[in-house]
Structure formats: C-alpha cells, structure tokens
C-alpha cells in the first residue's frame, strides 16, 4: 500500500499524524507541500477524494485568505483551488492519501480509517 502525507514539519498535528503512520509500520511518501506545492490538478483530485469544497480545505485564518479576499462569494471553485496553489499556507494539513482515499489528520486518528 502506498501512503502519501502532505506534511508541514512545523505543524504539531502534521508531526503527530506522521508519527501515527510510522507507529502503524507505514513509511509514507512525505511531500512538504510548502516546498513542493501541489498542482492545481492534484488539489482538485484531493478535494474530490475528500468530497469537500475548496473553502473546507482552506485555513481561513491565514493572512493570505483575508489579503486576497478569498471569502468573496464571487470566487468560483477553480479560483479558490488556484489560490491554494498560489498560497500553499492556506492548505489545511496534514492530508494523507491511501487506497484511493484521502483524510485530513485533524485529529491525527482520522487518517486510520483510510488505511484499511
């Protein structure tokens, strides 16, 4: 089984989720998404796997959210996904992909359900 984590090593929930995966005997592919920014296409796929809308994957308290008026109802799905690509700090973390599924590690235990 291939497991991928979109990881921010400065985030405690991300570190806890990575540790939880490792405790399960899993060595995931680690993508530090702030350095290796996911493409617009990848973000769209992740949203599809999570079955959520872009704003549900956005950290709305980040400065980039307010500075770029991302709360505007005039913005469409593609524009919001592009904003996450342009400002990756907006992406909620960590995100784990496994078995054709995705989960956000908030709390970290939420990722366990996609490992079976």
Q: Which residues contact 64 (CB under 8 A, 6 or more apart)?
A: 70, 83, 87, 89, 90
> Same domain, yes or no, for 69 and 27?
no
Query: What is the chain's mean pLDDT, rounded?
Result: 97
CB within 8 Å of 22: residues ≥ 6 apart: none
Is the pLDDT at 11 greater than 90? The verdict is yes
Residues of the domain holding 23: 1-33+93-116
- Same domain for 98 and 88: no
Are the C-beta atoms of 112 and 20 separated by less than 8 Å?
yes
Residue 1 predicted with pLDDT over 90: no
The answer for residues whose C-beta is within 8 angstroms of residue 14's C-beta and 6 or more apart is 5, 7, 8, 93, 94, 105
**Do both 43 and 88 map to the same domain?**
yes
Q: What confidence score (pLDDT) does residue 116 get?
A: 83
pTM, rounded to two decimals: 0.95
Q: Looking only at Cα atoms, what is the longest distance across the chain? A: 45
Q: What is the mean pLDDT of residues 83-96?
A: 98
Are 87 and 52 found together in one domain? yes
Mind telling me the catalytic residues? 11
């Amino acid at each position: 089984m291939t497991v991928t984590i979109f990881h921010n090593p400065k985030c405690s929930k991300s570190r806890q989720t990575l540790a939880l995966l490792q405790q399960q005997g899993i060595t995931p592919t680690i993508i530090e998404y702030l350095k290796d920014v996911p493409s617009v296409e990848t973000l769209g796929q992740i949203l599809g796997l999570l079955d959520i809308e872009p704003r549900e994957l956005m950290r709305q308290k980040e400065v980039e959210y307010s500075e770029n008026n991302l709360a505007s109802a005039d913005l469409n799905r593609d524009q919001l996904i592009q904003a996450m690509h342009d400002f990756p700090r907006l992406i909620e973390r960590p995100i784990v992909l496994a078995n054709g599924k995705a989960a956000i590690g908030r709390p970290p235990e939420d990722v366990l359900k996609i490992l079976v």
